[in-house]
Amino acid sequence: MIGPALILAVGVAAGFPDSTAAPTDEIVVTGSRTAELLLRTPAAISIANKDAFVDTRGISLKDGLQYMPGVFVQSRGGGQDVRVTIRGFGARGNGERSNAGNMRGIRILQDGLPLTEPDGRTSLDLVDLLAADRIEVSRSNASALYGNASGGVINLRSDLSFGSPFVEGLQRSGSFGYHREAGTVGFTAGFSRGTFSLTNSDYDGWRAHTRSTTTQAQLRMSVPLDERTRLRALVDGVTDMNKFAGALTAAQLAADPRQANPKFIDRDERRYNRVGRVGMTFDRELGQAGEMALAIYAEPKVLQRSERNRFRDFNRYHVGGSAVFTGRSQLGAGLQNRVSIGGDEAWQDGSILFYNLGPGGTRGPDLVANKREGANSAGGFVEEELLWKERWSARVAARYDAIRYVSEDHIDASLNARKVFSRWTPKASLAFLGGRHTTYVALGGGIEAPAFNEIDPPAPFDTTTSFNPFLEAMHSTTYEVGARGELGGGRPANGDSAGGGPTRLGRVRYDAALYWIVVENDIIPFDGGAYFFTAGESRRRGVEVGLEWSAARWLLLRGAGTFSQNEYVEYANDIGDFSGYEVAGLPSRTLAGAARVTSARGPWLEVSLEDVGEYFADDANTARVAPYTILNATVGYARTLGERTLRAFVSGNNLADRRHVASVFINGINGEYYEPGLPRNWSVGLTLGWR
């Protein structure tokens, strides 16, 4: 096995030399809900430009996030559904539910508008990785700015700054029946810009009963109303179907990892979703005084599932909006002030019909449940920053959130219930801005309410209420020290030293952070995710490092590593006392590294490694998940000839055909914990563009 030290030494190269998952002083981000330079942001933020993921299968977020420190991405079977964990938040995302691919605890934004629902779940139906131009990931707890379920924030951003109209066609094909066809048109009208894309993909899956199909359309528009005002609009629509193989026991995994859980086949466990989205954002600069941003959106959803011996019909609507005002002023010589005030509200409501399950997973004739579920999330925040001589930054923020749930049972009104989770969350930071280097210390609070399908009461309480009476909102406190910067590569615009290091050694970018997180009322799944416990206190401690070395014009090395210790401090229930045990689902080590060689004539070669340490799939730490290292390689070609662009690649993943576990059902039923990872697989891609 190739050791972790070699992985860090080799580094990661997920894009061309001008792509990055590390900071530069030119990048503008919105991690603090206002536009600012990444290098001046006192928080752990990673960036992946499109060059970092354009030459991939593009089937899921794993292709864009897998080389970021502190971010752990697992694929359920190589398809769309992934489990994303940021510093331990989001770990409970999988379980014996067909919607287990929905993320928890992490807020997902698309062009600034939230895909995350009011109760903290995020369905990835509307996410199209290859349609994004850039991914911003806030690894710090951001609840003080974004509210419920913001243990991390992932923002996928589109490009509407192109100069001339364009047409682009894309084809992807690969092992296990994967193919994807996509077309994008970029159009202009004066200073307005717009794009329209249409995508179709199909994936048979390498395990039995894992097919996934998606058809998706996206429209983006940006219209300047005057020199200081811009209106943006988006319209999305998707229909997709995913079948699930379920988790295996250790014996089944050893005998045949391609097999599906027999229960999942018998019930034809699947998810069939049709989702639409309309949204608008309004941004206005107020001169030197500041700016304001408004947003509204609406998502109608028609969802069908075969899950746990029930055929389930959902009709939902998700609507929301936000407003943020930022003001700036000069308080004295060298002292600047910035204050941001904002609020968000989101509401999701709709009907739910459960039927008995007929033969082959069909909808039976008997209506067994008729319910209404509604969730409202409302909150407001204020953030204050003092900036002294462009060198020292001090920030404080606070937010209040109220998350309200309502459940109405139209068959048995005695089960009707309402629940409110509310909390203040603070945030504070102090940063030194030293030219090309920023060092910061930060403290942040967090709140995460249990998602609606996590508050189902276990027996015998399911006969008296719709809500689990023992679950409370999870809240956390994060202590963090971090630094980011750049060595070599010339001089910054402000005239400061470039940070040392002779330029003949190229340019080195770094991003490092130490964190300590205390979590109270940690939400823990049991019975394979059918129900949930609350752990009194958990603790997560870790170090994250991201490095990028542009050693030469033709050579890029990059590395990302996370080492952590995650344990239950106080956790006892009727099953046992797990205080002092490791938190299930969280490896103590994740490393990634690659090297990329690029020729000026167009060919390039990338070799990458992914290493995951041992972890456990259950609270008792008896279901061990073995560590693994995976070797990948890609050969590609990129060339621009006048108005035409050609990109092509051939990629081999898991070249050593290493058996491994890609994800787990935490506290699975009857020892069914393990979802096997992809064996050796291949993909090819071709992209043609005209401007």
CA distances from 292 to 128, 284, 342, 374 (A): 28, 5, 9, 30
Instruction: Give mean pLDDT in consecutive 10-residue pieces for the chain, a chain of 691 residues.
Output: 33 34 58 76 88 90 89 85 90 62 85 93 91 93 91 93 94 96 96 96 94 96 95 97 93 96 92 96 91 96 92 96 95 92 96 93 94 96 94 95 95 92 94 91 93 82 83 92 85 41 74 96 80 88 95 92 96 90 95 94 96 95 96 96 93 96 90 94 96 88
Supply 131's token pair.
């349609």
pLDDT of residue 96: 61
Alpha carbon of residue 96 to chain centroid? 21
Between CA 427 and CA 145 the distance in angstroms is 9
CA distance 390 to 493: 13
Tokens coding 521: 């009322």
Helix or strand (DSSP H, E) at 111:
none
The C-alpha angle with vertex 537 and arms to 532 and 538, in degrees rounded to 5, equals 90
> What torsion do the CA atoms of 66, 67, 70, 75 make, to the nearest 10 degrees?
10
Q: Are 524 and 619 in contact (CB under 8 A)?
A: yes
Q: Residue 469: its pLDDT value, please? A: 82
Alpha carbon distance 37, 485 (integer Å): 12
The two three-digit tokens of residue 646, written as one number = 């050609």
What letter would DSSP give residue 502?
-
**C-alpha span between 547 and 539 (Å, rounded):** 27
Burial of 492 (0-12, 13-18, 19+ CB in 10 A): middle
For 560, counting Cβ atoms within 10 Å of its Cβ (0-12 exposed, 13-18 middle, 19+ buried), the class is buried
User: Which pLDDT value is given to residue 40?
Assistant: 77
Choose among 687, 667, 656, 653: nearest CA to 60. 653
Q: Which two tokens stand for residue 511?
A: 């991003």
What's the pLDDT score for residue 38? 80
CA dihedral 413, 414, 416, 418 (to 10 degrees): 150
- Whether the pTM exceeds 0.95: the reply is no
Three-state DSSP state, 34: coil
- Which residues does residue 84 pair with via DSSP β-bridges, in sequence order? 73
Give Cα separations from 182 to 115, 205, 213, 417, 682 (angstroms): 22, 20, 14, 45, 19
Tell me the three-class secondary structure of 224-245, residue by residue: EEECCEEEEEEEEEEEEEEECC
SS3 call for 459: coil
Does 460 sit behind a cis peptide bond, omega within 30 degrees of 0 on the bond before it?
Answer: yes
The DSSP symbol for 449 reads P
pLDDT of residue 397: 96
Cα(9)–Cα(421) distance, integer angstroms: 46
CATH 3.40.50.740 corresponds to the domain 4-270+278-690 = no
Residue 366's CB is within 10 A of a number of other CB atoms, namely 11
Q: What six digits make up the tokens of 560? A: 């990302």
608 CB-contact burial (10 Å; exposed 0-12 / middle 13-18 / buried 19+): buried
Number of C-beta neighbours around residue 189 at 10 A: 10
Task: Give 220's strand partners.
Answer: 195, 234
Phi-psi region of 211 (alpha: psi -120 to 50; beta: other; left: phi over 0): beta
Domain ranges, ordered by start, for the chain: 4-270+278-690
CB atoms under 10 Å from CB of 494, counted, come to 10
Under 8 Å between Cβ of 271 and 305: yes
Q: Please say whether the dihedral angle defined by the alpha carbons of residues 286, 287, 290 and 296, taken in this order, is positive or negative.
A: positive
For residue 160, the 8-state DSSP code is -
Three-state DSSP at 16 gives coil
Residues in Cβ contact with 5 at an 8 Å cutoff, skipping those fewer than 6 apart: none
Helix (H, G, I), strand (E, B) or coil at 129: helix
Q: Report the pLDDT value the prediction gives residue 13, as an integer from 0 to 100.
A: 31
Whether 309 and 289 have beta carbons less than 8 Å apart is answered as: no
Name the pairing type of β-strands 107-110 and 153-157. Answer: parallel
CA distance 448 to 118: 11
Number of helical (H) and strand (E) elements in the chain, helices listed first = 5, 37
